[in-house]
Structure 1
């Protein structure tokens, strides 16, 4: 019998690549309005088809439950799975209001919202809570393997980016995210690493930015 202590064999994990795609533009983008329910703007389907031609096929495909996210994901897969963890922020009493209107009517509440990630002056979901539920979902995917796509909203994409790079939540106001922007991550089975972050569509200007972008 060998006197040498046997070394444990290394665990081989499946490499996972995850692309988080900001759903296509809506009327709320143009109006800087806090809304999750709008459909995609006319013309976004063509932009999405052009984007899909530039990318490798994805499997599986997840999407936030809101209409614009589902419409975006449908271009990449006819069998996209609705994922509640990717849903947009609950804006409470501020839903369907513009940032300009909120700034005029409730400037102190807006300032509190921007500086304290645990606050919810609108009565909805704090940024801290939204990041927590999205991050739990993200951390569950380490051993998924393959090339996964998740269509979500700009604010969720920002929150997950800050989670991966371990940056403070107040930094989200320093990040601009346009419709169809992508955050690509890779995992070795233990941790996520940033691969790329930006807009991948080669031609055409985005019709509008996220209100929180």
Structure 2
């Protein structure tokens, strides 16, 4: 049995543009919504559709014409505690040591939320469960969920989490099974017309 998971990052939003720690409430901006609408119908067919609980992921899915049920808790974005809603510059200005520790130590959670390692483990459990299903799963998820899935699929150390950039409205494809994954990264959705 070969499983395919296509992870779609949300379209552009004000919080993404401002490098703001996402609190789950910010909407897509007009340009992001328009680009998502333009990509509707260009995704590969899928047996399942799941969406992270944040507003920008739900709105991206809607603009793409995707319907999903209750969001899986495992696909929530990184919980950044008291930093939620602030920009990276704001936090770095007031807590430079904490930000430096957070960016270099995957076990660190100075914001009082979740560590990068915990996120990677949580998303990895979801990906392993998805590998036990046949066919394709489309998942509109936060960029940090995509990073965590890539770390898990490659068996990379959690410290490599920050080394993966996830542009808005791109697809990362993971196929295979637990312990043997293949990746196709950063595909713009506009170019998906001819993909399988």
Give the TM-score taking structure 1 as reference length. 0.82
- Asked if the contact 2:116–2:161 (Cα under 8 Å) also holds between the matched residues in 1, the reply is no
Matched, 1:28 2:15: yes
Deviations 1:147-192 (A, max 9, x none): 21011111111011011111122222222111112210112x5544
Runs of 4+ displaced beyond 4 Å: none
Aligned length: 189
Give the TM-score taking structure 2 as reference length. 0.89
Residues 201 and 150 of structure 1, relative CA distance in 2, 3 Å threshold: closer
Where structure 2 has 5 or more consecutive residues not aligned to the other structure, the ranges are 192-196
- Asked if the contact 1:58–1:76 (Cα under 8 Å) also holds between the matched residues in 2, the reply is no
Once the two structures are superposed, the pairs formed by residues 174-189 of structure 1 within 5 Å of their partners are: 174-187=163-176, 189=177
Matched, 1:37 2:25: yes
Which has the greater radius of gyration?
Answer: 1
Matched, 1:120 2:109: yes
Select the structure that is richer in helix: 2
Instruction: Provide the alpha-carbon RMSD of the alignment.
Output: 1.7
- Asked if the contact 1:117–1:169 (Cα under 8 Å) also holds between the matched residues in 2, the reply is yes
Give the Cα–Cα distance (whole angstroms) in 2 for the partners of residues 202 and 79 of structure 1. 21
